[in-house]
Amino acid sequence: MPPQPVVPWSDERDATVFGPTAPQLPYQGGIERLLATVEVPGDDILTLNVWTPADREGGQRHPVLVFVHGGGLTRGSAALPIYDGTTFARHGIVFVTLQYRVGQEGFAVLDDAPQNLGVLDQQAALRWVRREIGAFGGDAGRVTVMGQSAGANTLTALLALPHAAELFDQAILQSGPLQAQPAKRAGRMTREIAKRLGVAPTRAGFGGIEPARLAAEQTAVGAGGSPLGRGPAVALAIGGEAVPEDPLTMLLAGAGRGIPVLIGSTSEEYRLWLAPTGAVDRIRWSTVTLARMTSRVPQRIVRAHRTRRPEATAGEVLGEIIGDMLLRGPITRFADSRIDAPAPTFVYEFRWRSPVDRLGAAHAMELGFVFDRLETPDAVAPGGTQAPVALAEAMHRAWVSFVVDGDPGWDRWSARRPVQAFDADGGHIHFAPRPDELAGLPTR
């Protein structure tokens, strides 16, 4: 069911520890070495966490940053150490993390229940922030949302809504798909789970299954798949209150043009899923050819990738092309549609290459830098112990600047296509990077 307002209380409530996490299983296939899972028992998972600046005297109102975690819509929580908001609060920002339902509880496609309940959870949380953040020293009229991966995907859906400005004033979208799937396709995971459990894909059918069992069945169905594949997966479904239409289609048609956006990706997103498992080494050129023909990717795009990196393997080339189709291509189209928008768009690309497990500039690698928390286990696991501190300082400073002043410190998007490339040197502008790899790229 949709989220409900909390029942008010009059006695003291202990808010010194993180609330319960959404039911989920740890990552598998080698990725569990790189991405941690935190489990806090309990059922009351729709909670928020707030960090406030130490200096709150004089009635000053501080800008607010609300972070939505990623996890493929199946995992993740606000309790991960890397998401600690101390570094943002230190710069005069009220920092908020929120939790939402994931997996089948949040994104099942059932015959008689609302779709995308996890997105409705986020809407409820953001309305709470507008209503209550003043009690924590926050300025309810200066709210920036930030999401990474699935968190950015769900925030894209919110940005595309007609009432987006009621929820937030600015958006930071990190490595998140900008699209949703038709309900029939998005519901493949739900239908397969229902088949395995011998229940109907209805509220009653799924309501009688323990959350842990649903998470286990979901993991079993998704085994061997990835965000880069085409198998059953948990995804935003088009239809209903939360995602009435495909978000990217709505954005290209003009939705959200009055809201400033900072958006980008890493340069080697695919490596998180293909390198630790060794799958990148098992892909042959025949697979590239078949995938190219199936997805209608022009041969010249493959040649462009091979020309730039003649030493690249078949798996690396395929991974880069799929990453461009999922992220870099749609991001560029989105930014192009906003060149003459009243609100600016700023685009970045994270390029620092980790030496751990051949991850390079993989998906989620930027998180330790954005939060300036390279010392946390969550950042050390994928990035090692020698990640450049200067780069973390530069990225964190840019994000703080956008939240506080609406300007991260580089040129807004224009016909020149300026991209802030973050590498070990701390960052530099690169105009229209690798256009030959995007020209003619399929849009779906």
**Which domains does the chain carry?**
31-281+320-413 (3.40.50.1820)
Tell me whether residue 265 is one of the annotated catalytic residues. Answer: no
Res 224: pLDDT: 56
* Average pLDDT, integer, range 262-281: 95
67 vs 36: CA distance, rounded Å:
18
Gap between the terminal Cα atoms of the chain: 31
Q: What is the pLDDT of residues 142-185, one digit of tens each?
A: 999 999 999 999 999 999 999 999 999 999 999 999 999 999 99
Q: Which of 28-32, 352-356, 408-412 has the lowest mean pLDDT?
A: 28-32
Q: Look at residue 313 and give its three-state secondary structure.
A: coil
Q: What is the mean pLDDT of the chain?
A: 95
Say which of 175, 363, 366, 396 is annotated catalytic: 363
Return the beta strands (E) in 314-435 as ranges: 345-350, 418-422, 428-431
Which pLDDT band holds residue 229 (cuts at 50, 70, 90)? low
Q: Is 149 a catalytic residue?
A: yes
443 — pLDDT class (breaks 50, 70, 90): confident
Q: Average of pLDDT values for 263-289? A: 95
Would you give the DSSP letter of residue 354?
B
Residue 261 has pLDDT above 90, yes or no: yes
Is the pLDDT score of 225 beyond 60?
no
Q: Which of 149, 226, 265, 354 is catalytic?
A: 149
Tell me the C-alpha distance between 20 and 38, whole Å: 10
Of the candidates 269, 349, 366, 437, the residue annotated as catalytic is 269
pTM above 0.95, yes or no: yes
Which residues are within 8 A (CB) of 238 and not within 5 positions of it... i.e. 6 or more apart? 180, 181, 182, 183, 186, 244, 245, 246
Q: Is 163 a catalytic residue?
A: no
Q: Which residues, other chains included, contact 432 with Cβ-Cβ below 8 Å and sequence gap of 6+?
A: 416, 417, 419
The mean per-residue pLDDT over the stretch 87-104 comes to 97
Give the pLDDT band of residue 136 (cuts 50, 70, 90).
very high
> Using one digit for the tens of pLDDT, what is the confidence trace for 343-380?
999 999 999 999 999 999 999 999 999 999 999 999 99
Token digits of residue 291:
């995938």
Interval 381-394: pLDDT, tens: 999 999 999 999 99
Looking at the chain, the whole-number percentage of residues with pLDDT higher than 70 is: 98
Is the pLDDT at 226 greater than 80? The verdict is no
So what's the pLDDT on residue 56? 66
Confidence of residue 263 (pLDDT cuts 50, 70, 90): very high
